[in-house]
A and B are shown apart, each in its own frame.
Chain A
């Protein structure tokens, strides 16, 4: 849809004004409600309701029909008109009731690498004996599916936020809304849970091979299998032996990688921020991230050394989480 450019200062544009107004309303709602615990029951005090465009058209229709009925002095069309008006009233209350008493709780979020969407999960539980219709969780333009919640059941709604850079991703609030029954009204409630998720650095796509079998700890392992020792992964390039392709890693990540083998002696690897060639911090972080992920894929011990942090070699989920977290939050004051 093409649009005519707004001829006046941007600050006066309807969109801008609307955004400022909604920001104000949001601040007000937060001040009024305070911070919510991670399981919040929606009470009628915190549910707001406004007519939708369809509701306004409906009201206009009813008004036109009222005039018509008065003009024709037709008692049956009065019946129809008042029935519609009454349905409007009932719809308003029904719409609000459709949200009241729902339990909203945070159902977790998994950290992701930057540029991957971050998926916050919100569980909504309906303890009452009535089905709740057309429920949706949203945050501005980010919306979940619209779903019904049958009596006594829960549904998990997903909010997908795009991510651009590593760091913390905070969701100070989200909304939950419904337009049931006739889409004449929209009832919503703000939930302020101060949710937060970690965004790991993006994985660099073309990485130099990781440093092989450093012996910084002084601990050496002898291995009789000699050249079979695996040292790390690097991007596949023409001429690499197919025998050396890391098929397992390919199956997981979809990228062709070649295994690198060190000499007979190997030990845990050290990934050191300071030894990387690049001068770009972010680039270095994403290379380290890639190395950590790859090493983890191959179940290989690794250590990570960042300015101010050091993670001794290990592998497993705890190690991975700790390293990626440190990478995500490296030099946190920067920018974000």
Chain B
């Protein structure tokens, strides 16, 4: 082997773009990756650049192998797995960093660019915001420019590569769109792969402890969107029922697992007018399906109603789903108390919250009946010094006692919890319902946006003859919270200590527009599944579209577009037409069947033809004279018809 020399600097022109493409593809992964991987990549990329710049040598093979092993073990240690988006992108980043250390020639750069494309794909699996599309195109543009820069042999200008790749992508865009629209979507995946949805996805959990919901309230993340078929219910009726909690351990509430109860619906009496609407629910990773209190029907497949009138799906909701539902805002639930397991709803742990229990019993004594007792408790919340705040002080073991008698500052879960405990202490069956309350009406998009900050807890008490009745103790403390929704409470709220300023009007409108864009995005781009595709095909005029038809359409449209692109390119690359005289003369030459020699003038050529036996000297002279006249005379165009006739009439032979 010859002595290994340093790099020759031949990659200087293309390497920066390759590095840029890799860095840009890696960027969205950085918040999710262990910091050492990002650092390793930056060190390797910077190092590689220096190596090229200074014509240093690349590290020897043993060092690269050792580094690879170390990094692989590092990823294993960080993730304890090698499949899935997280470890997958970590491995890709490591591969890119290590590959850089052995990149000598253009072929190695191809590998890097493929890695870059895979990193972009992994980023899309992770997050699919509206801006992800922009990111996708920019990342692809950089990668393709790097590719062209690498494939370059001459010292081509950078802007040239950039323009070319932009132009090629522009041509590709309609083709991509056609394939995207017509490529048949299937409902179920081939094999289950764990997806880690964006870390920090917020949502209601199965338990409620003090402070749970208030942490949610700081989240601006979308929970779901609703479109109503007809009239929109007023804010105070917008209770989105989620799960029901009935077990209390003195501090936190828990409920039943999501289990079907086929009799649950029979115990409801639906009154008044139904409300029909469609919910587009963001993935929660849980089974709970949110519906307006109280749901009559939900069109989501494999969805059932539980024994406490909560809706749940047989499997966790890992993808954004849309479902139509019908609810009745006026209802009576289990008002004929036959099978109500009272012990469930009256149980309180022993030796906890003694002061609350005592107070509840005293108040019940004074009140004439259950309804009066409820009113009295609500009045206390309303009239006494209770504050609605998102930053309540931490509570100890007897959370309810501390809240009621000491801190007196709390959020919906504090009030719901305290209220339910007091009800139970006085012998009134009670339970806590978790869900969302309110939502922001978007008049531009005609939909209701419900965010995580709208998460809410309220209570239901069971009253003789009336069944379960919804009581929202938070309404007694901060009625704006219920009337105007969360943002209203934040802006005007009596106890709102959280420093949110009233947003300027234009900002508000901007937010609304952004919200609409996102809604459309979710609906039409991310949610373009089998159903949407079928309805779109039907809209296009296909009766009962099936996938064969779709594939045929796909092929047809793609072929049409490819032909169009080809035509476009043909036009671009067509050499300018030669003049008519030259074309006619070329025809004459073809007829004669003798090529003019290189550098031979028409007159010389004519002389040569006349010397040979094949050509008619007179005709040759005529054609040549007319050609010269039409080509070089100032009134040349007038000779063209004659030239055409002469060429047409020309025959070989004397």
Contacts and interface: CB of A to CB of B under 8 A. Distances in A.
B2 to A, nearest CB: 14
Contact of A182 (B144, B180, B191): B144
B15 interface: no
A148 B185 contact: no
A94 B566 CA distance: 8
A54 to B, nearest CB: 6
A100 interface: yes
Interface string A106-136: 0000000000000000000001111101100
Given A100-B573, A134-B151, A181 B120 contact: no
A54 B110 contact: yes
Contacts of B193: 71-72
A283 interface: no
A85 B151 CA distance: 19
B125 A75 contact: no
Contacts of A94: 168, 569
Contacts of A101: 573-575
Nearest to A37: B595
Contacts of A41: 575
A87 B169 contact: yes
Given A38-B595, A76-B132, A77-B124, A70 B144 contact: no
B638 to A, nearest CB: 27
B176 A128 contact: no
- The winner among A57, A180, A181 for most chain B CB atoms within 10 A is A181
B180 A78 contact: yes
A103 B118 CA distance: 41
Nearest to A83: B176
A249 interface: no
A335 B113 CA distance: 53
Contacts of B160: 131
Contacts of B570: 97, 100
Interface string B86-113: 0000000000000000000000001000
A63 interface: no
Contacts of B195: 72
A92 to B, nearest CB: 9
Interface in B153-167: 153-154, 156, 160, 164-165
A146 B153 contact: yes
B136 to A, nearest CB: 6
Given A65-B121, A179-B151, A76 B526 contact: yes
B140 interface: yes
Contact of A77 (B121, B152, B183, B572): B121
Given A93-B569, A101-B574, A78 B183 contact: yes
Given A76-B124, A87-B168, A182-B147, A130 B562 contact: no
A134 B148 CA distance: 11
A179 B150 CA distance: 12
A273 interface: no
A54 B111 CA distance: 10
Interface in B488-529: 525-529
A68 interface: yes
Given A87-B172, A89-B175, A94-B569, A80 B140 contact: yes
Contact of A148 (B156, B189, B598): B156
Interface in B327-346: none
A237 interface: no
Interface in A44-86: 54, 57, 61, 65, 67-68, 70-86
Contacts of B529: 73
A65 B191 CA distance: 15
Nearest to B595: A37
Interface in B166-212: 168-169, 171-173, 175-176, 179-180, 183, 185-187, 189-191, 193, 195
B114 interface: yes
Interface string A128-166: 111101100000000001111000000000000000000
A101 B168 CA distance: 20
B148 A90 contact: no
B117 A86 contact: no
Contact of A72 (B169, B172, B176, B189): B189
Contact of A90 (B124, B151, B175, B572): B175
B121 A80 contact: yes
A85 to B, nearest CB: 6
A91 interface: yes
A130 B160 CA distance: 12
Contacts of A91: 168
Contact of B562 (A87, A89, A133, A134): A89
B565 interface: yes
A296 interface: no
Given A80-B124, A97-B572, A127-B575, A73 B180 contact: no
Contacts of B576: 127-129
Contacts of A79: 124, 133, 136, 176, 180
Contact of A93 (B186, B558, B562): B562
A183 interface: yes
B590 to A, nearest CB: 10
A106 to B, nearest CB: 8
A184 to B, nearest CB: 9
- The winner among A71, A79, A182 for most chain B CB atoms within 10 A is A79
Interface in B537-581: 558, 562, 565-566, 569-570, 572-576
B215 interface: no
- The winner among B140, B144, B151 for most chain A CB atoms within 10 A is B151
B339 to A, nearest CB: 42
- The winner among A54, A87, A131 for most chain B CB atoms within 10 A is A87
Contacts of B172: 83, 86-87, 89-90
A270 B133 CA distance: 85
Given A74-B128, A84-B117, A148 B154 contact: yes
Contacts of A37: 595
B171 A181 contact: no
A181 B151 contact: yes
A86 B572 contact: no
A61 B114 contact: yes
- The winner among A57, A76, A98 for most chain B CB atoms within 10 A is A76
B645 interface: no
B319 interface: yes
Contacts of A76: 124, 128, 132-133, 136, 525-526
A146 B147 CA distance: 17
B582 to A, nearest CB: 12
- The winner among B125, B179, B193 for most chain A CB atoms within 10 A is B179
Nearest to A65: B121
B528 A75 contact: yes
Contacts of A78: 180, 183
A65 to B, nearest CB: 6
A214 B467 CA distance: 139
A97 B573 contact: yes
Question: When A and B form their complex, which 10 residue pairs have the shortest distance between CB atoms, in order from nearest?
Answer: A86-B172, A127-B575, A86-B175, A82-B179, A146-B153, A82-B176, A76-B124, A97-B569, A86-B176, A83-B176
Interface of A: 37-38, 41, 54, 57, 61, 65, 67-68, 70-87, 89-91, 93-94, 97-98, 100-101, 127-131, 133-134, 145-148, 179-183
Interface of B: 110, 114, 117-118, 120-121, 124-125, 128, 132-133, 136-137, 140, 144, 147-148, 151-154, 156, 160, 164-165, 168-169, 171-173, 175-176, 179-180, 183, 185-187, 189-191, 193, 195, 319, 525-529, 558, 562, 565-566, 569-570, 572-576, 595, 598
Given A75-B525, A146-B153, 12 more contacts: A61-B114, A70-B185, A70-B190, A76-B133, A77-B121, A83-B176, A86-B172, A87-B172, A93-B562, A97-B570, A127-B575, A129-B576
16 contacts: A38-B595, A61-B114, A71-B189, A74-B125, A75-B128, A75-B526, A76-B132, A78-B183, A79-B176, A80-B120, A93-B569, A94-B168, A97-B572, A97-B573, A127-B575, A128-B573
